[in-house]
Amino acid sequence: MMKEIGMKLSSLLQILTTAFVVLTAVSALATPIQVVDIHSPYSPYAPPGPNNPYRGVGSGTAYNIFQQTFTVGKSGLLSGMSIYGERGTFGSYTNQLKIKIGNANGWYSGSWDVELYAPTSGSMFDLTSYNLHINAGDLVTFELGHQSYYINSGVYLVERPLVSLLNQRVSRGSTPIFYPPTAWNNLSIAFSTYVTTDPDVKPENPSTRIPEPSTMSVMLLGMGLLAYVRYRNRGKK
């Protein structure tokens, strides 16, 4: 009688362990994970030359409007962004940021998917609420610049050209003059983007997603228990 109960308990433990391992694996694949996509920071200590793409210069946005276009590397939700800069002419870190998904035809003057005021101190700001679904290979354009005094910042331009960087000079006054945009294709704005894996957007290859170390440890523990139960049952037979 006791032997039969023991065998039933062992079978139940084996079933529960198998279910635990499967559910853990599925959860690891389904849980959204925020990852860095584009990472183009500014390094003030890097020596000049082609082997140091993150060396650059600061440029204020009180009299400049920049439009940076880049290619998305990872599919998902564009959930965050960091722009690297310093205090501008009027002592501010904030800047007007506009984002458009899918533009690469010169200077963009249409409607934008996002318009907000963002810090250029390198801190990440949240874009999750805008639901910017992107796929690897998409082109994204963002604009930095202001149409008013006293709200501007300095941004870093690094020697790491991406798709394109356009600059428009603005003469401030009662009637601002906007000069024709020019291409600065040997530079790009220093920025980083963050993508959250999104079930509504097909990732490049879901099977290549690697679970976090803690999840992997629990999975290995579960598989170890399963192997032990099988070994124990085989020994009893």
Q: What percent of the chain shows pLDDT beyond 90?
A: 28
**pLDDT tens by residue, 46-68:** 565 556 666 666 676 667 889 99
Taking the CA of residue 160 as centre, how many other CA atoms within 13 Å lie in the half-sphere pointing to its CB? 20
Q: How far is CA 49 from CA 46, 55, 74, 159, 188, in A?
A: 9, 8, 29, 9, 15
Each domain of the chain, given as residue ranges in start order, spans 2-31+220-236, 34-196
**pLDDT tens by residue, 15-38:** 656 655 555 555 545 567 888 899
- DSSP structure class, residue 62: S
- DSSP structure class, residue 186: T
Chain mean pLDDT for the chain: 75
Residue 192 identity: S
pLDDT of residue 225: 66
Q: Which residues contact 99 (CB under 8 A, 6 or more apart)?
A: 78, 112, 113, 114, 127, 130, 132, 140, 141, 142, 143
**pLDDT tens by residue, 73-86:** 999 999 999 998 87
**pLDDT tens by residue, 176-222:** 788 899 999 888 999 999 999 855 544 444 344 445 555 556 666 66
